């Protein structure tokens, strides 16, 4: 199974208005007892990853992003926003599916 494959039929969470996240930044959300970092890219698209850097626990939602990667603020490990793969040799992350509904709410899907 490839890293960016999210099984369908997982749990769905509505996280509120997309405007909670400024363009080009990330914000962390508590979901289902865990923490998820949701990013709103400058082209308006959304990405979601686990909120904790696998290297030394850095807060990824505080990272700097572009259209491809997030760079952890603690030790500058980078992760592909779409696949969760580290581009700097850290462990990979598993991305979550995130989208927007008609009311412009963030919709996050966690795998089963």
Partner 1 sequence: MTSVLDTPRTRLSGPEPSGQGPRRRLVVIGNGMAGARAVEEILARGGAGQFTITMFGDEPYGNYNRIMLSHVLSGEESDADIFLNSLSWYQDKGITLHAGVRVDRIDRFTKHVFSNDGRVTPYDILIIATGSRSHMPPMDGLYTPAGSVKPGVFAFRTIDDTRKMVAYAQHEHHRRAVVIGGGLLGLEAAYGLRSHGINVDVVHSAGHLMSAQMGPDGGAVLRRSVEALGIGVLTGSRTTAVLGSDRVTGISLRGGTDIPCDMVVVAAGIRPNVDLAVLSGLPVERAIVVDDRLRVQDEDDIYAVGECVQHRGEVYGLVAPLWEQAVVLANHVTGTDTSAMYLGSRTATKLKVAGVEVASMGLHGPELDTDEHIVFSEPSRGVFKSIVVRDNKMVGATLLGDSRKVAYLTEAYDRGLPLPEERIGLMFDFGTPDGDAGVGELSDDAQVCNCNGVSKKTLVDAVQGGCATVAGAMEATRAGKGCGSCKLLVRQVVEWAADGAVEEDPVANYYVPAIPLDKQALMAEIRKRGLRSVSAVFQALAPGGEDARSKMGLASLLKTMLAERYMDERDARFINDRVHGNIQRDGTFSVVPQMKGGVTSVQQLRRIADVAEKHNVPLIKLTGGQRIDLLGIRKEDLPQVWADLDMPSGYAYGKSFRTVKTCVGKDFCRYGTGDSTKLGIEIESRFQGIEAPGKLKLAVSGCPRNCAESLVKDVGVVAVEGGRWEIYVGGAAGAHIRKGDLLATVDDPEQVKVLAGRFMQYYREQANWLERTYAFVPRVGIEHLRGVIVDDAQGIAAQLDAAMQASVDSYVDPWLDRDDPQTPGQFRTSLPLTVLPQVPVR
Q: Which stretch binds partner 1 (CB under 8 A): 7-15, 57-65, 101-109?
A: 57-65
Decide: is 44 part of the binding site for partner 1 (CB under 8 A): no
Rule CB under 8 A: choose which of 48, 86, 97, 108 binds partner 1. 86
The answer for residues whose C-beta is within 8 angstroms of residue 85's C-beta and 6 or more apart is 3, 79, 92, 93
Q: Does 14 bind partner 1 (CB under 8 A)?
A: no
64 part of the interface to partner 1, by CB under 8 A: yes
Report the b/e string of 23-57 with b at 16+ CB within 10 A. Answer: eebbbebebeeeebbbbbbeeeebbbbbbbbbbee
From 66, 101, 104, 111, residue interacting with partner 1 (rule: CB under 8 A): 66
Shorter beta-carbon distance to partner 1: residue 9 or 89 = 89
Assess contact for 106 and 46: CB atoms under 8 A: yes
Q: How far apart are alpha carbons 92 and 51 in whole angstroms?
A: 13
Q: Is 95 an interacting residue with respect to partner 1 (CB under 8 A)?
A: no
Give the footprint of partner 1 on this chain (CB under 8 A): 3, 19-28, 30, 33-35, 37, 42, 51-52, 56-67, 69-71, 73-78, 85-86, 88-92
């Amino acid at each position: 199974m490839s890293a960016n494959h999210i099984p369908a039929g997982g749990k769905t969470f509505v996280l509120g208005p997309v405007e909670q996240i400024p363009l080009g930044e990330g914000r962390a959300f508590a979901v289902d007892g865990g923490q998820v970092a949701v990013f709103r890219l400058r082209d308006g698209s959304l990405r979601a990853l686990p909120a904790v850097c696998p290297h030394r626990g850095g807060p990824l939602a505080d990272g700097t992003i572009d259209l491809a990667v997030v760079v952890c603020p603690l030790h500058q490990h980078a992760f592909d926003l779409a696949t969760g793969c580290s581009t700097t040799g850290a462990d990979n992350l598993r991305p979550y599916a995130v989208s927007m509904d008609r009311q412009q709410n963030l919709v996050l899907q966690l795998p089963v």
